Amino acid sequence: MRLERYPEPEVNLQAWNAADSYLLDWVAEHRTTGDGPCCVVNDSFGALALGLVKAGEQLVVSWSDSWIAHEGARANAAVNNIAAEDVDWVPSTRTPSPPRPAAAFGLVVLRIPKAIDQLQDQLRRLAPFVGPETLMVGGGMTKHIHTSTIACFDDEIGPATTSRARKKARLIVARVDPDTPRPDADSLSASGRARIVGPTGLTFVSDPALFSSTRIDRASALLLDAVGSNINWEPITDVIDMGCGAGVIGLTLLERIGRLAMTFTDESYGAVESSRAAWEENLAAGRLDQLDHDPRFIVDDCGSTIADASADLVCINPPFHDANTRTSAIADRMFANSARILRPGGRIVVVGNRHLGYHSTLRRWFTTPTVIASDRRFVVLSAGSRR
Ligand SMILES: C[S@@+](CC[C@H](N)C(=O)[O-])C[C@H]1O[C@@H](n2cnc3c(N)ncnc32)[C@H](O)[C@@H]1O
């Protein structure tokens, strides 16, 4: 099978890893094809979901928090002559259930996430849909699998064992224990998640899959301080919170200036849904005054679906990791798209670690950036559209 990363192939980075190959080999050895529906969790670029379809599986659900992972897998399906409709692409904001009449998945293949809280959350949400007949296997790189990872499978699913390491990857196989207490599916919705309270009293969803889920990030707070005193808000209406996470930047700006038309965008389904939930809750609680415009909530890659010349200001605290790999590719795409999205006279405001050198990257697309705030670790830069 030919697999590429999405949206662009990256030199030196492949679209699958040793854990994916190990998982597929394990499935080939232990599963009778077609024995109940399959659920693939946290696949990136389709290695697992498309691998199962190629192996003859007809009922495959791919559950992910990443829009890019889903889009990338659909693009790879086309390259490999697989119909994208052969897989049911389920965002993390819904819980995947086996297609009727099945009551349980026959196979769950899970790429183990780095955050243990996220693993626990995913296993809890899957638990109502697995049974003693379900083959349940997780895989990851050895350095990310700890005693607590195995304990998590033990506690949420049933007795778990680990495989030997192969090419620095390891598997965890859990036997579904019918006596392990299972939460019912409805009790695990986003509305049941914890909240964090920001410095101004706004509340945000706290979710293990979200960036900075237990506190407001220091860099975002610095950006918010800086734009308060350094931006002329008078000509500004349309604002983009790009890579919005829990929505801290966009909602805080709306709290200050209720007439803004705010767009929240992220590639994480959960992030965009959490921003929407926080907006609704803060509005209902009277923490936001009635706004002039309803905000927009968009899941895409770096604002890729936002119209040209449609915004006056873009605010970004860019990620500098993609899964476990350090990369400037996402920040670059965010800057390039912002240049396209901004109107003449528009501005971009970016916060980042000093060593990331955004000052010189921004110059590729914008006027020379000005430092509008800094501390020991971070700088906030503001640059104008070249239109
Ligand atoms: C450093 S966090 C900032 C979150 C939020 N703005 C804050 O300040 O708390 C970066 C955000 O970028 C998002 N992100 C990563 N890759 C992305 C992409 N390709 N397109 C859009 N958002 C992306 C992540 O999901 C994450 O929410």
* Cis before 7? omega within 30: yes
- The whole-angstrom separation of Cα 181 and Cα 161 is 20
Protein residue with its CA nearest to atom 4 in ligand 1: 245
233 CB within 6 A, ligand 1: no
As a whole number, mean pLDDT of residues 324-328 equals 75
| Domains held by the chain: number | 2
pTM of the entire predicted model: 0.95
As a whole number, mean pLDDT of residues 160-168 equals 97
Same domain, 198 and 277: yes
With residue 255 as reference, give the H or E element that holds it.
helix 248-256
**How many angstroms does the Cα of residue 247 sit away from the middle of ligand 1?**
10
State which of 154, 170, 185 marks the end of a domain: 185
Describe the chain by its helix, strand, coil percentages, rounded to 5. 35, 25, 40
- The best mutation among 316, 317, 356 to test binding of ligand 1, ranked by most ligand atoms within 8 Å of the C-beta, falls on 317
Confidence of residue 209 (pLDDT cuts 50, 70, 90): confident
Check residues 164 and 212 and name the one with the higher pLDDT: 164
As a whole number, mean pLDDT of residues 2-27 equals 91
Residue 191 in this model has a pLDDT that exceeds 60: no
- The best mutation among 268, 276, 353 to test binding of ligand 1, ranked by most ligand atoms within 8 Å of the C-beta, falls on 268
- The whole-angstrom separation of Cα 92 and Cα 120 is 14
Same domain, 220 and 310: yes
- The whole-angstrom separation of Cα 139 and Cα 113 is 9
| 190: DSSP letter | G
Residue ranges making up the domain that contains 172: 18-185
Residue 185 in this model has a pLDDT that exceeds 80: no
Same domain, 218 and 238: yes
Residue located via tokens 């693939």: 40
pLDDT of residue 10: 75
As a whole number, mean pLDDT of residues 369-382 equals 97
302 CB within 6 A, ligand 1: yes
- The whole-angstrom separation of Cα 297 and Cα 299 is 7
**How many angstroms does the Cα of residue 12 sit away from the middle of ligand 1?**
23
Residue 378 in contact with residue 222, Cβ under 8 Å?
A: yes
- Please state, as a whole number, how many other Cβ atoms lie within 10 Å of the Cβ of residue 55: 14
- The whole-angstrom separation of Cα 354 and Cα 295 is 32
In a domain, 156, yes or no: yes
Same domain, 169 and 257: no
**How many angstroms does the Cα of residue 289 sit away from the middle of ligand 1?**
26
337 CB within 6 A, ligand 1: no
CATH number at residue 274: 3.40.50.150
- The best mutation among 211, 213, 240, 341 to test binding of ligand 1, ranked by most ligand atoms within 8 Å of the C-beta, falls on 211
Same domain, 115 and 210: no
Confidence of residue 37 (pLDDT cuts 50, 70, 90): very high
Residue 276 in this model has a pLDDT that exceeds 90: yes
